[in-house]
Amino acid sequence: MMIKIEHEDNSLTKGLQQFFKRLLETREIDALFLPVRLKDSSSIMPSLVTESVQVDNAVPLSPAFPLNSGRMVSRLSYKLSGRKTAVLLRPCEIRAFIELIKLKQGSRQELILIGIDCPKALSSSDYTAYMEKDPLDDDAYIQKVFSENDKTLNGFNFSSACNTCENPFPVNTDMNILLHGVDLSDGMIVESASETGQNILETLNMQQATEPVKRDEVVAQIKEAGLKANEEMIKDIEEKTNSITKLNSFLDRCINCYNCRNMCPVCYCKECVFNTDVFYHQPVQYHQWAEKKGAVKLPTDTVFYHLTRLAHISHACVGCGQCSNACPSDINVFELFKSVAQNTQAAFEYSPGTDENEPPPLSVFHEKEFEDIIGIERE
């Protein structure tokens, strides 16, 4: 089933706001999880909304992407609340949440998942500068991204995660807001993606729509462009990090703040080994290392930390880019993480966040797995 969201006061954003208000007015939904512009601020943050009037502050489409909300949704769903929540997420946020469900960190039981074609994002620092410079109004921004398909926004580059994404389209949802390949001058389209989604859309009594004629063609073009950009990025980062000397140089500004870990939506451990006494070295050890080498860089263990993270989460990386967004030293760790993640995921034939019923690779054992590596032959 497909329905049409028409302009409201010649505004696509207001049209979306009215759509979400209608959802909140149904008996099936008690709350909305949406990106909202904070009061007296240009900042946009995910918020849990229960009052219809507050939906007027929602910004469903913007270049702001301060965090991957997959983890926030897991906090709303890991235990039952007795309330139904409609959750609006970008594709990479959906993939992260699906991975967290597999790790028993969240549940879909009380959620209605609403996906949306990705509106691309700026880094947090670029978004602040963009808002101070000359920001486009929401509708002009939407048209620029979805109709013109630009890779820059008023002189600011979209994040490398967005520009190299091969799948900026939602999956594993109950309904999807379609924007790519849609004639936005005529409004937007919402499609049901599950029986639950269809039942809710039917209750809204909105104008029905048909599949956009150019949708498949545009989707194919975007996937091809993302694949090409991704291949170029991987080739470049592998050249920059293909030796221990180059890897040390790439990560030499790391200050062990652990922001990349803290912002990673699939890094879920309650206690990290790097926050334990294992890496709380004795003063004499630093002196011994310095005496052996003549000098020792502090903090230590920075490269080892990143290698450990890669071993831990590369199979589950969803490519959201929040690791780079959070780095105070401006190291584009996303490019390194994604290059390793692609190799890991290819080795396990695993695509994170695409199949809710497929177990994570490291949670299962296959008798004939990697025989060429472990050197064991079985009849």
Give me the DSSP letters along 126-149: HHHHHHHH-PPPHHHHHHHHHTS-
What mean pLDDT is predicted for residues 20-47?
Answer: 93
CA-to-CA dists, residue 300 to 217, 293, 295, 323, 368, angstroms: 50, 13, 12, 20, 39
Q: Strand ranges (DSSP E) for the chain? A: 2-5, 31-37, 44-49, 85-89, 111-116, 152-153, 156-157, 175-178, 188-192
Query: Does residue 190 contact residue 19 with C-beta atoms inside 8 Å?
Result: yes
Look at strands 111-116 and 175-178 and give their pairing. parallel
What does the pLDDT read at residue 104?
92
Alpha carbon distance 334, 65 (integer Å): 15
Flag whether 336 is in a domain.
yes
| Residue whose tokens read 């008690």 | 30
**Pair (322, 292) in one structural domain:** yes
Judgement on whether residues 187 and 264 belong to the same structural domain of the protein: no
Q: Are residues 247 and 318 in the same domain?
A: yes
| Beta-sheet pairing, 2-5 with 188-192 | antiparallel
Distance between CA atoms of 227 and 230, rounded to whole angstroms? 5
**What is the C-alpha separation between 119 and 144, in angstroms, rounded?**
10
End-to-end CA distance of the chain, in Å? 51
Domain boundary among 193, 225, 257: 225
pLDDT band at 374 (very low <50, low <70, confident <90, very high): low
For residue 304, give Cα distances in angstroms to 68, 130, 273.
Answer: 25, 36, 12
Using the 3D structure, point to which of 198, 225, 252 is the last residue of a domain. 225
pLDDT, tens digit, 9 for 90 and up, residues 340-363 = 999 999 999 999 999 889 999 878
| pLDDT attached to residue 280 | 87
Question: How many structural domains compose the chain?
Answer: 2
Residues 200 and 289 occupy one common structural domain = no
What residues contact residue 228 under an 8 Å CB cut-off, 6+ apart? none
Closest to 57 (Cα-Cα) out of 42, 75, 73, 68: 42
My answer on whether 46 and 141 are in the same domain is: yes
Task: Name residue 188's beta-bridge partners.
Answer: 5
Is there a domain that residue 233 lies in? no
Q: Which of 102, 128, 135, 153 is nearest to 268 (CA)?
A: 102
Domain that holds residue 36: 2-225
Output phi, psi for 289, to 5 deg: -65, -40
232 belongs to a structural domain: no
| pLDDT at position 150 over 90 | no
Please indicate, yes or no, if residue 379 is contained in any of the structural domains.
no
- Percent of the chain residues past pLDDT 90, beyond the cut: 77
Rounded to whole angstroms, what are the CA distances from 269 to 77, 88, 309, 365, 367? 17, 25, 11, 22, 28
> What is the rounded average pLDDT of the residues 142-150?
78
Of the candidates 284, 15, 324, the residue with the CA atom closest to the CA atom of residue 139: 15
Contact indicator for 174, 196 with CB cutoff of 8 Å: yes
Do 217 and 360 belong together in one domain?
Answer: no
Distance of alpha carbon 18 from the chain centroid: 25
What is the predicted pLDDT for the residue at 10?
84
Does 247 lie in the same domain as 214?
no
| pLDDT number for residue 372 | 67
* Residue 262, beta-bridge partner list: none
Question: Which neighbouring-strand residues pair with 58?
Answer: 36
Q: Please, what is the average pLDDT of the chain? A: 91
Q: Give the pair of three-digit tokens for residue 287.
A: 């002196």
Does residue 378 have a pLDDT over 80? no
Mark whether 195 and 260 lie in a shared domain.
Answer: no
So what's the pLDDT on residue 27?
A: 84
**354 and 300 co-located in one domain:** yes
What's the pTM? 0.92
Residue 231 in domain:
no
Query: Other C-beta atoms within 10 Å of 67: how many?
Result: 18
Q: Locate tokens 């994604």: which residue?
A: 338
Average pLDDT over residues 128-135: 90
Residue 277 has pLDDT above 90, yes or no: no
Q: Note the pLDDT of residue 364.
A: 77
**Is 26 in the same domain as 157?**
yes
pLDDT for 362 equals 79
The Cα 303–Cα 288 span in angstroms is 20
Same domain? For 6 and 103 the reply is: yes
Residue 20 has pLDDT above 90, yes or no: yes
> Within this chain, do residues 220 and 258 fall inside the same structural domain, yes or no?
no
- Out of 192, 225, 258, pick the residue that ends a domain: 225
